[in-house]
Structure 1
Amino acid sequence: MKLFVFDVDGTLVDSQHLIVAAQGVAFAEHGIAAPSRTESLSVVGLSLPQAFKRLVGEDGPVEGLSESYKRAFNVLRLDPSYEEPLFPGMGDLLARLHLRDDVRLGIATGKARRGVDRLIETHGWQGWFATTQTADDAPSKPDPAMLLQAMAEADARPDATVMIGDTTYDMAMAVSAGAAAVGVGWGYHPAGALFGAGAVTVVDDAKALADLFTGALRTGADGIAPV
């Protein structure tokens, strides 16, 4: 049995326009110049408090920015121009994987529980995931607690677990938890940074990821090699 744990933003879902816009509103409410797009996306994957600490420092209005961001996000997500589409092929990949008897699926994300529940309902993924870990359940990535909890809930060994994500935080979390770290090249951190944080490989599209999983199921998660 293999456990494949997916990050959400930047891995399954392209939410960058919504994230950047919500950050812009939050910073404007506090009279602070908004970060650049690159800076905004660099903290995707962290919990909101940790993300804003990175952007404004420990002494900044972290709590206020977090609350402003959540309000803005919940308003903007209702606007069709801020749609959060799945990345190409990822929905089909999950649909195939969840039918396999030798696979369990998981989510580990900096999103809140409410956001993950909404995502699952929107795409009809109810019952597909053996474990869903959110910012409400564990310390922020790259702390390994989120992935360790996922493995415990899914009854999976570290050497049978693969973490799939687009940020260095995902890769570092996987390494700390003893799982294989697989980066995706379509997200918010560059491939070089993912390799530097411990990625075994970085894939360019959903087909390459599916091929990688085929090899992992044949050999074992710790046997993943570049494709």
Structure 2
Amino acid sequence: MTPRRFDLIAFDWDGTLFDSTAIIARCIQAAVRDVGGKEPTLEAASYVIGMGLMQALAHAAPDVPQALYPRLGDRYRHHYFAIQHEINLFEGVLPLLADLKGRGHLLTVATGKSRRGLDEALATSALAGVFDASRTADQTAGKPDPLMLRELMAEFDVPAERSLMVGDTTHDLQMALSAGCASVAVSYGAHDHQAFEALSPLYIAHSVRQLHDWLLEQG
């Protein structure tokens, strides 16, 4: 086994660990329709995944007036919570996390989800207790601001050079870059992998199996 390169690994949630990209995009579209806005394309709705909820909705629906943002957020949550039970972990995620845990890594989550949303997902996905800490967009600054990563590093006194961010969007990679951390991208989530190269990830994994192998060999 190679020496451990990173002490702390921060994972994005949706599109990285959870196969939720398509459902989130459809819920964004439905919420915008509900308040009379112009429905965003699937590509546009997928692009904002990973941002804080209201930041994402405002970006996806620029024609919706700010006065309707509270209703827009409520309608998104209505649609999402009605079908969140249909969302599953990507195949291979549990063995990946178990192997990393066994190797002594600190495992954390840095997500654009709300605290409530993440806690409910953890409670229903057999992941309770797996992660050492987490940050959500309503607790701290949303992506791509680096604050949530900096808070996680500070919590465990781990320097940036010993920390790694794993995510499926340019928001994740930009956050890592701004925090001074290395990153690994996955191409099976919300963003086209061709946009990743400019943000200098160490590796782009095209499957959970590839991510697993790389992290165990290099992480």
Query: TM-score, normalised on structure 1?
Result: 0.87
Residues 168 and 189, structure 1, Cα contact 8 Å, conserved in 2: yes
Q: Counterparts of 1:190 and 1:200 in 2: how far apart (Å)?
A: 17
Q: Counterparts of 1:208 and 1:11 in 2: how far apart (Å)?
A: 13
Alignment-derived partner of residue 84 in structure 2: 77
Alignment-derived partner of residue 56 in structure 2: 51
Map residues 1-227 of structure 1 onto 2, 5 A cutoff: 2-57=7-62, 59-60=65-66, 61-78=68-85, 83-101=86-104, 103-217=105-219
Instruction: Structure 1: state its 5+ residue gaps.
Output: 218-227
Q: List per-residue Cα deviations over 1:159-210 (Å, max 9, x = no partner).
A: 0111000000000000011110110011111111112233222111222222
Instruction: Structure 2: state its 5+ residue gaps.
Output: 1-5
Q: List per-residue Cα deviations over 1:94-149 (Å, max 9, x = no partner).
A: 12222223x11000000111121122222222222121111121111000001111
Per-residue deviation, 1:59: 4.6
Q: Counterparts of 2:208 and 2:95 in 1: how far apart (Å)?
A: 9
Whichever residue aligns with residue 75 of structure 2, its letter is S
Q: Counterparts of 1:123 and 1:100 in 2: how far apart (Å)?
A: 22
Q: Counterparts of 1:151 and 1:67 in 2: how far apart (Å)?
A: 33
Instruction: Give SS of 1:136's match.
Output: coil
Alignment length, in residue pairs?
Answer: 212
RMSD of equivalent CA atoms? 1.7
Whichever residue aligns with residue 73 of structure 1, its letter is Y
Q: Counterparts of 1:29 and 1:206 in 2: how far apart (Å)?
A: 35
Whichever residue aligns with residue 158 of structure 2, its letter is A
Instruction: Give SS of 1:71's match.
Output: helix
Alignment-derived partner of residue 3 in structure 2: none
Whichever residue aligns with residue 51 of structure 2, its letter is L
Q: Counterparts of 2:166 and 2:22 in 1: how far apart (Å)?
A: 22
Residues 21 and 189, structure 2, Cα contact 8 Å, conserved in 1: no
Quick check: 31-40 or 158-167, which moved more?
31-40
Aligned-residue sequence identity (percent) comes to: 34
Query: TM-score, normalised on structure 2?
Result: 0.89
Q: Which runs of 4+ in 1 moved over 4 A?
A: none
Q: Counterparts of 2:110 and 2:15 in 1: how far apart (Å)?
A: 12
Per-residue deviation, 1:67: 2.0
Quick check: 59-68 or 129-138, which moved more?
59-68
Residues 46 and 140, structure 1, Cα contact 8 Å, conserved in 2: yes
Whichever residue aligns with residue 62 of structure 1, its letter is Y
